[in-house]
Chains A and B, each alone.
Chain A
Amino acid sequence: MEGSAKTADDYAKYTGTKGEPKVAPMPLERDALRRFVQAIMDRDPLYYDEAYAKGTKYGGLVAPPLYPVHAFRPPAGGPDPLDLVREDPDADGSGGNDGVYFGLAPLETPFKRLLNGGNEIEFYRCLAVGERCVARARYADVRLKEGKSGAMLLTTIETEFTTETGELLAINRQTLIWR
């Protein structure tokens, strides 16, 4: 239960559990791709010059290899993640760490502070313009650890990103540290 102390066994049961596949609300659009590559300042014509991209092994415009981790945005018509910022001056605006779970049931833990412990990513294919990304996540490892500054919860979430037709794009293993 949120807020209460938990044992190592309470956390261990998360390991191996999977979430429902999460489908990006929109296929990759050229304009979203333009904003994305402008923000990372990558001027590779593969991302905007259709004639150039058609002549490459990609056969058309694609997103950068790591784009799938950012393919999931709040769908139109859903709850507004900024409502909480109006109501609570301490709200951080993050929308509850939704971006790390990719469809997994969020961890119930009294730990409040979340740190990114690093990533290990494998790449197989880039998402093409017009394709929709799907994420399938599982808790690869969840365990309590005693650190120098007290207890922490080490979590590895493994997320497989594919196209809607099941072609593998990338696998991201993200280590998260709750303190």
Chain B
Amino acid sequence: MAKLAFDDIAVGSCLGTLDKGVMTTAHIMRWSAAVENFHRIHYDHRFATGHDGLPDVLINGSWKQHVLAQLVKDSLGPDGWLWKIRFRYKKMDVAGDSIRGRADVVAKEVVDGLGFVTLRVALTDQNDKVSTAGYAIGVLPVRGGPPVPYPFVRKPAFDTVQLPADD
């Protein structure tokens, strides 16, 4: 993985994308089993449609949040750190929908020697409808500056870097 520095980032650019492909009922079931979430709207078609009136079994919001976290983590690369993320669920996704993510740079600033990058993040379906959206703040090293500490340590000076208000 190419190592990314704060200096390489341009406001207005796309920092990264992530394509998870089609989520079949088997993919949804695998997630439910992995985290032992047995809510029937995620695997029991008769319950989801008949009892809850849903169009099909639902892709878990709990799964989609990990896709957003991976999107930002992978976009920042191994020297970066996902510090904050805020997101909301805008619509349901159901079995058969494709999930892809995109992170765009909306702001950047250096605070106390570290590079803070504000990203607009979104997950969309195969029709480019947004299902999950929000903002994230990533931290990157400035070329010639110190590495991003791990574990990441919050300093009072960083409080000037805020997640933007929801769109």
Q: A-side interface residues toward B, CB under 8 Å?
A: 35-36, 38-42, 44, 56-58, 64-66, 69-70, 73-74, 81-82, 85, 90, 92-95, 99, 116-125, 167-168
Contact = CB atoms under 8 A, between A and B. Distances in A.
A93 B163 CA distance: 36
B35 A82 contact: no
Nearest to A175: B88
A66 B150 CA distance: 16
Interface residues of B, number: 45
B38 A81 contact: yes
Given A39-B30, A56-B78, A65-B82, 14 more contacts: A38-B30, A39-B27, A40-B63, A40-B67, A40-B70, A41-B20, A93-B39, A94-B37, A118-B134, A119-B85, A120-B86, A122-B154, A123-B82, A124-B151
A26 B113 CA distance: 39
Contacts of A90: 51
Given A85-B40, A120-B86, A66 B63 contact: no
Contacts of B35: 36, 39, 70, 73
B6 interface: no
Interface string B134-164: 1000000000000100111110000000010
CB-based closest 3 A-B pairs: A118-B88, A125-B151, A39-B34
B73 A64 contact: yes
B17 interface: no
Nearest to A123: B82
A168 B67 CA distance: 22
Contact of A121 (B27, B39, B52, B85): B85
A179 B34 CA distance: 29
